[in-house]
Amino acid sequence: MEPDRKIALKAYEILKRKRRNFLLSVAVPGLGQVAEGRVLTGTSIFSIFSFPFYYWYLLGFDFNYGSVTLLGAQSLLYGLQLLDAKKGVSRETSPCEDFCPAGVKVPTFMAFCEEGNFEEGLGTFFLSSPFPFTLGELCPAPCEEKCGILPERPLRIREVHREMAKIVLENLPLKEREPFFPETDRRVAVIGGGLAGITVAYYLSSCGVQVDLFEKEEKLGGIINYIPDFKFDRKTVEKEIAYATSFRNLRIFTGREVREPLNEYDAVVISVGAQLEKRLEGVEGENVIYPLSFLKNPPEVKGKRVAVVGAGDTAIDVARLGVRLGADVFVFYRGDAEGIRAQKKELSAAVKEGVKVYTNCSIEEVKGTELKLSCGSFSFDYLIPAVGFEVDRELLKKLSSGENSFITGDAAAGMSTFVEACGKARKTAAEVLKKLKLSDRAWFTIDIYRGKPAKVSGSNLFVVSESSLCQHCGIKVKS
């Protein structure tokens, strides 16, 4: 059985149990809590709820201000215990989980990796995102910044799930798959085939919804397709995308740009990203190339002087590619070193490769091939303004068609990291299922915790040994 199907069916059983326990608490206050193992909580709720009514019975059920107050208080208690029953057993999460924008259950997949069960580890990762390998390659790993287990360094969480995913994906056959639940007649359109759009399409189609995914380019992946090959294993990334889009009820339309509302669907998810490159006003010409054009089809730059304006991830990608093509590359950033948005490891790699980085240098004027900066002048052969991306608000306004439209990923809140876009997309998928009255299938909203195993085993020394260092900072509680 596929690893994500196995975990989805397990999560669905938990969903059914939670729903049953909630209904028990609707019938008898506290009974649902007892059924899920919180006996003391359940019996306390039942006693506190029942005793005042017995006291009222002894007084003869007189209707007065006191009895009205009693009824109000008991109604409030009834409502609160229903909220408690709906929430169910909660778990104190670890700092790494709390600071992951996608809510990846780090201790759980690390526990499975520690015992050598990579398939189940991969399955639990799919509860948060269908891209364990891609995020392992490209995520800035805010989880690692909060890991304090080792005094000298954080755990290599990102590398663990990248290697775990690669091991499993290499042996996973690519074939058309059945959804995890019976197919419905509900139809959803997803506009935009970047990671966020694929994430929404994956979760919805896994739940049996008929999904049509539209992408204006000839292949899925969005901005992934502009990232230089030297940064990641493209072959495995493409296999991961193929696996995430392999459900029979998910139709893919590439080379299809959508610019008008799709009113024939039960819901439309708009995930077109922040696709407009910001322009430097008045800076144009044959020597000015914007980043996506450079990354997709770079000119001959060997022996040329290339000026890159900006210091985000895209700017550093451009700079590193330029160096590899034989150019002399200079990066100019208007802020100080602490304000550089690019990942530290990427910036460090760029400097080691020969990229020159200058901070506190803002553009004052561009004349021909002369760049006047606050820190001096610079003559260039090519100028690449990599100053960010914007959301096409006009397109969003055109595509949105009322309460059945959902905007997600970078289109919702501007340019962000891949992991942030995936996190937003998963939440959007849950909102769509709620709108379609299919929330009972939202298997990816369930928290599944795996305690630290008693025994360490497995053939991949790095994954197993690194995972064994995880101490599960969160403590499982029943309250």
Tokens standing for 196?
């966020």
Burial of 255 (0-12, 13-18, 19+ CB in 10 A): exposed
Q: Are 208 and 441 in contact (CB under 8 A)?
A: yes
What's the CATH class of domain 95-172+446-468? mainly alpha
- Block residue for tokens 């077109």: 272
Q: Could you tell me where in the chain the CATH 3.50.50.60 domains are found?
A: 187-275+391-444, 287-388
Mean pLDDT of 333-361: 92
More confident residue, 432 or 284: 432
Mean pLDDT of 446-459: 88
- In the predicted structure, residue 57 carries a pLDDT above the cut 80: no
Q: Quote the CA–CA distance of 273 and 160 in Å, as a whole number.
A: 28
- pLDDT, residue 59, reads 66
What are the tens digits of pLDDT across the range 358-405? 999 988 889 889 999 998 999 999 999 998 899 988 889 889 877 899
DSSP for 446-472 reads -----PPPSS---S-HHHHHHHHT---
Query: In CATH, which superfamily holds the domain spanning 187-275+391-444?
Result: FAD/NAD(P)-binding domain (3.50.50.60)
Mean pLDDT score across all residues of the chain:
91
- In the predicted structure, residue 45 carries a pLDDT above the cut 60: yes
- Block residue for tokens 């104190």: 92
- In the predicted structure, residue 463 carries a pLDDT above the cut 90: yes
- pLDDT, residue 148, reads 85
User: Residue 475: pLDDT band by 50, 70, 90 thresholds?
Assistant: low
Task: Give the number of residues written for the chain.
Answer: 479
- In the predicted structure, residue 479 carries a pLDDT above the cut 80: no
DSSP for 275-320 reads -EEP--TT--STTB--HHHHHHS----TT-EEEEE--SHHHHHHHH
- In the predicted structure, residue 67 carries a pLDDT above the cut 80: no
- pLDDT, residue 403, reads 81
Q: Which range has the top average pLDDT, 121-130, 225-234, 358-367? A: 121-130
- pLDDT, residue 477, reads 41
Indicate the residue type of 121.
G
User: Residue 274: pLDDT band by 50, 70, 90 thresholds?
Assistant: confident
More confident residue, 206 or 285: 206
- In the predicted structure, residue 438 carries a pLDDT above the cut 60: yes
Per DSSP, 223 falls in state: G
- In the predicted structure, residue 305 carries a pLDDT above the cut 90: yes
- pLDDT, residue 476, reads 47
Architecture of the domain spanning 287-388: 3-Layer(bba) Sandwich (3.50)
- In the predicted structure, residue 194 carries a pLDDT above the cut 80: yes
User: Residue 1: pLDDT band by 50, 70, 90 thresholds?
Assistant: confident
- At how many degrees (to 10) do helices 118-125 and 3-27 cross? 60
Q: Which residues of 307-343 are buried (b: 16+ CB within 10 A; e: fewer)?
A: bbbbbbbbbbbbbbbbbebebbbbbbbbeeeeebbbb
